[in-house]
Amino acid sequence: MTLLLYDDIYLEHDTGIGHPENSRRIENTINYLKSGSFFNQLTIKKPRAASQEEINLIHPKAYIQTVKQIADSGGGWLDGDTVISGASYNAAVYSAGAALTAADMIMTGAAKNAFCLVRPPGHHATPERGMGFCLFNNVAIAARYIQKNHKRKRVLIIDWDVHHGNGTQDAFYEDPTVMYFSMHRHPFYPGTGAQDEIGEGEGKGYTINIPLSMDTKPEKYLEIFSEVIDSRVNSFAPEFIILSSGFDTYKKDPIGGLNLEIEHFHALTKIVMKSAEKHSDGMLLSCLEGGYHLADIPRCIEAHLKGLMKMDF
């Protein structure tokens, strides 16, 4: 069974209508999904909020309070890209909480996998600060939560967003218990993710960066992705897999683009599902990151969901 985590609270994170990371991304998506016949095969679940203690698994209390104070004062900007509105803190704790809600349901056998249709996204949020549209790092918090509360020792985070997840990398750069694998356009925002960034100390070798040029063909992308999964990821033998699912690798994305067609998100999902079935009894948690083509992100997400549900696309 596949869960879809969603709440209208995510629409209240007001970045402004001209901002690429705006509420229409998921408003369009939920409306599109509801119009499809397969929607009734999904289990829809409203998330709970993550507590400050849970967010503190990754982010210092001082930073959490900074985000809350800016929201409580009516809003502001963390940087030139990252908006906090009056409702943003509340949306962000429910965004992180969706991943935790899903993790609990997956780990207790209520579902096999889940997709969190959330905003704000998370993978650029470092432990110390938000950036790149992100406030709290949803997947990083989930990884630590799964280790702490569900005793899974080895967690794999796969990131196929067009932008490198610098925040996720920072959180686990010296940690051999969380493997981070990212394929991303490079050089590109945020400037990190070179191939020689492989981790430090005990975490050396547990960060895998595959930087790609903007003219990379989809066939090459899939080939490389599959090779990394089959070799280095499988040797790690993850006990739980988390996906940072960015759909800005889609060829028409207005701020990213890596030439992928909609159907390639179905193919990528099938590759990850195969690894999950091999190592973690099929358990897989996916969280929305980027993807800014307002007309087609619903179709990209549909392809991903059908992959999670083992349906043809």
Give the β-pairing of 284-288 and 113-116: parallel
CA dihedral 155, 268, 292, 242 (to 10 degrees): -10
CA 209 and chain centroid, separation: 16
User: What is the SS3 assignment for the chain?
Assistant: CEEEECCHHHHHCCCCCCCCCCCHHHHHHHHHHHCCHHHHHCEEECCCCCCHHHHCCCCCHHHHHHHHHHHHCCEEECCCCCEEECCHHHHHHHHHHHHHHHHHHHHCCCCCEEEECCCCCCCCCCCCCCECCECCCHHHHHHHHHHHHHCCCCEEEEECCCCCCHHHHHHHCCCCCEEEEEEEECCCCCCCCCCCCCCCHHHCCCEEEEEECCCCCHHHHHHHHHHHHHHHHHHHCCCEEEEEECCCCECCCCCCCCCECHHHHHHHHHHHHHHHHHHCCCCEEEEECCCCCCCCHHHHHHHHHHHHCCCCC
Cα angle value 191/192/198 (rounded, 5°): 160
Residues forming the active site: 124
Total residues belonging to the chain? 313
